[in-house]
Structures are given as C-alpha cells and as structure tokens.
Homo-oligomer: A and B are copies of this chain.
Amino acid sequence: MSPRRVTLGDVAQRASVSVATVSRALSGDSQISEATQQRVRQVASDLRYIPNVAARSLVLQSSATFGLMTPDVTDPIHGQVVTGFQQRAAERGYSVILANGFRDAETERRSLREFAAHRVAGVAVMGSVLRQTEVKRLLSPSPTLFIGSDHLPAVGTDLDLPRGCVRPDDRDGMDQVVAHLIERGYRTVAYVSGSSGANQIVRRDALIAALAARGAPQPVVFQADDVDDAGLQAVTAQILRRRPDVVVCYDDKTALSLMDELRTAGVNLPDEVGVVGFDDIPFARISNPRLTTVSQRSDELGRISAEFLLATLDGKRLPLSQLMPVTLVVRETTPGPRRRAGTKAKKSTVPVAIR
C-alpha cells in the first residue's frame, strides 16, 4: 500500500556511495569531500529523504525529544508555558511530547511511563500530584525538571529541591501585593483559594507572611475547593457576610470568576470590595473592571525550563533551582477602600459636626 519510505540506503544507491558516506555527508562530517557532500545532499533532497529518528535514537541511546506534562493545557498559564517550552525546544531541534495529567495520579504515572518508553532526553513536569521522588524514580535516568510551585512536599520551604526547579517568586509577588494594599489604605484582607494543589497553599502562606511582616492583621481564608460552581458561591456568601476590604485570590481565574459571582450578588466592584489576582492571564487586562494582579512571564518560564533541560544534554547536572521575577500590575480592581454608607465604623469614628 504505502510506498516504502526512502532510507539512507536508497540515497546511497542513487548517489553511488555507501550508507556510511551518506550518513556522514548528511551530518556535515568534514571528512567527506565537498563534492560528495553536495551530491549526496542533492540526491537526498531529490528523493525527499527524511531520517528515521527511531533508528537514530536506537543507536544513539537517546532521542531528541522532551516530555512535558501539565495538568491541563486549557489553562491559559499552562498554555503559555507549553508554548514557550516547545518553541525553545524546537529552536534546538527537539520535539516535545505533551501529556495532560489531569491531576490524576494514575493518568500521570501512565504519562511518565510513556515518556520513559520514548527514552526522552528530559522531562518537565508542571503541577503533578505525585511525589517528586516517585516522579524522578519513574523517569530515571532522564533528567527531570519541576515547573511552578505545585509540587512542594513541605510548605514553608522556598524551594524543595536544590536543582531542577523553576517557578515564579510567589513570595515576592505577595509582598508587592501587600505593600500595594496597605498603601491604598485597605485594612481587612481575605484570601480565596482556587483549585486544590500545593501552589495555592504556597501563595496563601506567602500572603500571610507578607501581611505579618508589615504588621498588618491576618487574612480571613476562604476555601473554594470546587472553583466552578458551588464553591465560589459559598465563598461569595461568606464575603457578603464578612465584608473584607479586599480579596486576594489564588489566581486570576479564581479572581475573575469571583468577580462574576459578586456582580451577580449585586456587589459593586471595585467600590465595595477590592480584588487582586495572580498570574496576569491575558483576560485580566481586559476584564471589567480590569484586574490588579501579579504578572509572571509564563512563556519565559517555559523557555527557561527547556533551556534547563538543554543544559543537561552534555552530561551536566541540572542547573540550580531558580525563582522567576514577578511584578505587580495595578489596574482597576484596587482603587482603595471606599466609605460605605451605613457602615458602623464610619459612624463611630468620623466626627460629625453638630449644628
């Protein structure tokens, strides 16, 4: 049926040389005369020769391929990381096999085994629910890189592993957030966790620490385990009751969804309550009101990750773990607290002129 694909042998025959010569010529071996190089290349091109990477990686004992596992590319942040990673890998001639783990342990294990079966040159893992030791064991001896803060086994450590971790500097991000909130005059702050996962704990603790460092009151923490539906509505109800000045959310997606719920509940944003996100996804810039958030260059995160893996190719160890810088982007959701009519605090603290 399908016409057998053209091999080195075909090219060799057509060019009247040996397969060895073709192999060398195509790889630009300087031992081959310029003349034959030209001729071989020409023939290869004429015949539409395309090397078989399976054969190559079989003899080379490694494939020019990386594995990349994410929870789910649907998330804008994951998408950006994947894009950056793939782009950088491609620039260096590497392919990337993508796997979605869906935060399911068995699915993740299958994916990692698949990577191992492909004898990938390296693997980057984002937001796995597996323990890092297990991930490394499954993939060994391929170098394994962890992207983002969603792996920390012990919260409170800044970096879990001394090498092979790349993630945004959540601590610093939250610090910038807190500085901004205080400067704008916000007093009571709440934290809303989004999805489950270690990352949101890292950010929560970072917020708590940042608040404490500046002598500000501790935040009220709302857990919204189920982001999509009931969870956020429950949180909204809580917010309506507790009336914090500002709500810091685990990420932009949570923040934007929460804003929608609050709007549904008739809350006037950002006057009645401020909102802060995290990640600076594209839609944070054009939401209404526009979301104040912590910006991270996720595509850079992806590119750096690929770079890390690339750096291990010549037998070197993984580069030291690294925190990526983040910057607060102040937009419209944190204008500062407004006096609310009928608020007790106002009545009791603001002197009223009697006449």
Q: Please name all residues of chain B whose beta carbon is closer than 8 Å to the beta carbon of A292 when the two chains form the complex.
A: none
Contact check, B83 vs A74: say whether CB atoms are below 8 A apart: yes
- Determine which of B1, B74, B117, B315 lies in contact with A50 in the assembled complex, contact meaning CB atoms within 8 Å: B117
The stretch of A22-30, A170-178, A256-264 that contacts the partner chain: A256-264
Which of A249-291 touch B at CB < 8 Å?
A: 256-257, 259-260, 263, 282-283, 285-290
Copies in the complex: 2
| CA–CA, A141 and B2, complex, Å | 6
- Determine which of B78, B98, B263 lies in contact with A86 in the assembled complex, contact meaning CB atoms within 8 Å: B98
The stretch of A107-115, A124-132, A184-192, A240-248 that contacts the partner chain: A107-115
The residue of chain B having its C-beta at the shortest distance from the C-beta of A117 within the complex is B53
Of A87, A259, A283, most buried by chain B (CB within 10 Å of CB) is: A283
Q: Please name all residues of chain B whose beta carbon is closer than 8 Å to the beta carbon of A73 when the two chains form the complex.
A: 73, 79, 82-83, 86
Nearest-neighbour CB distance to chain B for A95, whole angstroms, equals: 5
Contact check, B100 vs A97: say whether CB atoms are below 8 A apart: no
A37 beta carbon closer than 8 Å to chain B: no
If A141-B2, A260-B288, A287-B287 touch, whether A83 touches B100 (CB-CB below 8 Å) is yes
| CA–CA, A289 and B99, complex, Å | 35
A320 beta carbon closer than 8 Å to chain B: no
Q: Please name all residues of chain B whose beta carbon is closer than 8 Å to the beta carbon of A63 when the two chains form the complex.
A: 54
Q: How many of chain A's residues touch chain B, expressed as a range?
A: 35 or more
Contact check, A83 vs B72: say whether CB atoms are below 8 A apart: yes
Q: Please name all residues of chain B whose beta carbon is closer than 8 Å to the beta carbon of A19 when the two chains form the complex.
A: none
Q: Mark A75-104, 1 if CB is under 8 A from B, else 0.
A: 110111011001100100001111110100
| CA–CA, A114 and B92, complex, Å | 12
Contact check, B110 vs A99: say whether CB atoms are below 8 A apart: no
Nearest-neighbour CB distance to chain B for A168, whole angstroms, equals: 17
Nearest-neighbour CB distance to chain B for A105, whole angstroms, equals: 15
Contact check, B72 vs A1: say whether CB atoms are below 8 A apart: no
A57 beta carbon closer than 8 Å to chain B: yes
Contact check, B95 vs A96: say whether CB atoms are below 8 A apart: no
| CA–CA, A83 and B107, complex, Å | 13
Which of A282-322 touch B at CB < 8 Å?
A: 282-283, 285-290, 299, 315
A55 beta carbon closer than 8 Å to chain B: yes
| CA–CA, A68 and B52, complex, Å | 18
- Determine which of B54, B74, B107, B257 lies in contact with A76 in the assembled complex, contact meaning CB atoms within 8 Å: B74
Top 8 nearest A-B pairs by Cβ distance? Answer: A260-B286, A2-B141, A288-B288, A98-B98, A54-B54, A54-B57, A73-B79, A54-B58
A54-B63, A74-B83, A75-B79 are known; give 5 further A-B pairs, CB within 8 A.
Answer: A50-B117, A54-B119, A83-B100, A260-B285, A260-B286
